Structure 1
Amino acid sequence: MFNLPETHFNFGGDEYIYAEISRDMRIESNFKALAVTDELRKREIPGIIDIVSSNSSYLVRYNPDIISARDLLDYLKEIDLTKSDPTKLHFSVRIVEIPAWYDDPVSKEFSYRFKNRHPSPDLSDFEFVMKVNGFTDKEAFIKCHSETPYLITMVGFLPGTAWHFPLGLQPNEIIQAPKYNSPRTETPERGIGLGGAFNVIYPVNGPGSYQLIGRSAIPVVDQNNQLEALKETSFLARPGDIWKYRPINESQYNKISSEVKTGKYRYKMKEIDLSPLEYAEKGKQYVRELMGDF
């Protein structure tokens, strides 16, 4: 039996404790960060102001007038230790389908508009990502990217932004690409970006440096609360959820966009139980079992 990575704690001024589980991105580290921060929220410890889970770390902000740094650190170490045994960890999460129009004209337009900031200005972002990952066939690339489930490991930056990392793959199987040399000043709303091994969907128009490979037909933020699934929080992303892309064409994209505008679109979701232990033991096979016929 193995334990999840050991955590290193550091004080950040008088109000923060930063917990680093690992310096490199590991799914196991993210599982632990999610488990610890979930438990912290459940305990409602007086003096804790905010709890933020990241890719392989977490941050706790506290009021030193209510709880001392040392007392809080003792709480964190105790919780962290109990969440290091994968046999005791289970998550209730959702699989969410993301209809995606790959290599769409808007993403392509933004590629060329900011080509002076790109590592390969003669290629669109989509072409560049294909090239650096050894793909020569567009459909083969789309199939590979869309068949992979992605775990939401962190949310932040712009509200609603979710970093998602491929599940069940070996390092040499992961589609990844370098970011822009300097960020774009604009990125299309719902643009699907790839930077390193992480994917994001830009919730609104704004700056960005990830390679644009397509566009989501559905929003990840609903500020008007028109869509049933987003009425409670306005945000689609939840750390620990799994996003699965479904390739669509222009006609399907327009149909879904129309349903979104009228509030009629219904997100395809499925509740599942996720076991870090089974993931560690079975890898890709476990991911296939989780996804089923989704």
Structure 2
Amino acid sequence: MKTRYTFGGDEHLFVECSEEMSLAPFFKVLSLTEAIKKGNIEGVTEICPANASFQLRFNPDIIEPNTLLNKVKKIEQESENNIQKEIKTRIIEIPVLYNDPWTHETLMRFRDRHQKPDGTDLEYASEINNYQSVEAFIEAHSSSPWFVSMVGFVAGLPFMYQMVEREQQIQVPKYLRPRTDTPKLTLGHGGCFACIYSVKGAGGYQMFGVTPLPIYDPKQDVRYLEDFMVFFRPGDIIKFRPIERNEYDQIVREIEVNTYKPNIKEVTFNLDEYNRDINSYNKNLVQKISE
């Protein structure tokens, strides 16, 4: 689609690069926001990238809205044949206790808001994605890597896009009505996106499990969050690893005494190489986290 520009109130310009999510519009957003940042447009106070769009906040007393619009359109035209296709990033292993007792208790309390009141979220997701069992669904969910395309909405919450062929993507609708409760660090899913709830609160995504790893710490007491309170960054690649309750408890104890170190490897991601052979590229990525 042609890039769509919309003003939001007096101080925001919303730029939509695509109506549907894929990695290509993410990289266009990445390139445009980097070019805008380097352009040092006077009056722009904030740049907020999202999955396939971004929003600029500006001071209308410094720059007139249509002047900003024209400057951004010019940057887009100049960047059209120079979209960034390669980034240096991280692949991060995230341990997950699927079908845990805490999200199970919560989802059973809110069955009247669910499409399938007589089952669980994992059973529902398995069924509508044509998996023969919950175990087969968990294998599909955890075996492929996921791309962090956005961090936000709630502080530290990552939106993750599954790195598989489109026809293989797991898709699940949100609850019919949102819950008023979601346990902290719940692994959720809505539409084609996975997320991890960084804090306890309301939510509507299907709940598959929990991770023991804090991903947002405003006090920065957690060892691996000492440099920055938010764990994830756009462009991170995530590999979920199913764990049992005993390992979950052990990781929690290690985090409490600040001895736990997440499994993170530095990698280079190239969009063109990925698109040429997704399965082989993913296999090499996943292998790096176990080296």
**Structure 1 and Structure 2 fold alike (TM over 0.5):** yes
Matched with 2:76 is 80
Amino acid at match of 1:122: D
> 1:160-207: per-residue Cα shift (whole Å, max 9, x none)?
11110101x222211121111100000000011111111011111100
**Residues 74/281 of structure 1: CA separation in 2 closer, same or farther (3 Å cut):** farther
Shift of 1:87: 6.6
37-46 vs 17-26, which deviates more? 37-46
1-structure distance, mates of 2:144, 2:250: 25
Between the two proteins, the alignment pairs up a number of residues equal to 289
User: Unmatched 5+ residue regions in structure 1?
Assistant: none
Residue 118 of structure 2 aligns to a residue whose secondary structure is coil
**Residues 189/88 of structure 1: CA separation in 2 closer, same or farther (3 Å cut):** closer
> RMSD of the alignment, in Å?
1.8
Matched with 1:147 is 143
Shift of 1:16: 1.6
1-structure distance, mates of 2:13, 2:199: 31
**Residues 87/158 of structure 1: CA separation in 2 closer, same or farther (3 Å cut):** closer
2-structure distance, mates of 1:86, 1:166: 25
Matching of residue 239 in structure 1 with residue 234 in structure 2: yes
Matched with 1:261 is 256
2:122–2:134 Cα contact (<8 Å) kept:
no
**Given the alignment, which residue of 37, 40, 50 partners 2:46?**
50
Matched with 1:26 is 22
1:227–1:264 Cα contact (<8 Å) kept:
no
Superposition misfits of 4+ residues, deviation over 6 angstroms? none
Shift of 1:86: 6.1
Amino acid at match of 2:191: G
224-233 vs 203-212, which deviates more? 224-233
> 1:77-132: per-residue Cα shift (whole Å, max 9, x none)?
23323443367532121111110001111111111011111110100111111111
Amino acid at match of 1:52: C
280-289 vs 127-136, which deviates more? 280-289
147-156 vs 43-52, which deviates more? 43-52
Matched with 2:274 is 279
2-structure distance, mates of 1:82, 1:264: 48
Amino acid at match of 1:266: K
Amino acid at match of 1:206: G
Shift of 1:234: 0.6
Matched with 2:201 is 206
2:181–2:201 Cα contact (<8 Å) kept:
yes
Residue 194 of structure 1 aligns to a residue whose secondary structure is strand
129-138 vs 27-36, which deviates more? 129-138
**Given the alignment, which residue of 71, 84, 109 partners 2:105?**
109
85-94 vs 211-220, which deviates more? 85-94
Amino acid at match of 1:131: E
Matched with 1:293 is 288
**Residues 262/224 of structure 1: CA separation in 2 closer, same or farther (3 Å cut):** farther
Shift of 1:70: 3.1
1:189–1:203 Cα contact (<8 Å) kept:
yes
Amino acid at match of 2:231: L
1:227–1:265 Cα contact (<8 Å) kept:
no
2-structure distance, mates of 1:29, 1:149: 19
- Alignment TM-score, normalising by the size of structure 2: 0.93
User: Unmatched 5+ residue regions in structure 2?
Assistant: none
- Alignment TM-score, normalising by the size of structure 1: 0.92
Residue 78 of structure 1 aligns to a residue whose secondary structure is helix
Amino acid at match of 1:246: R
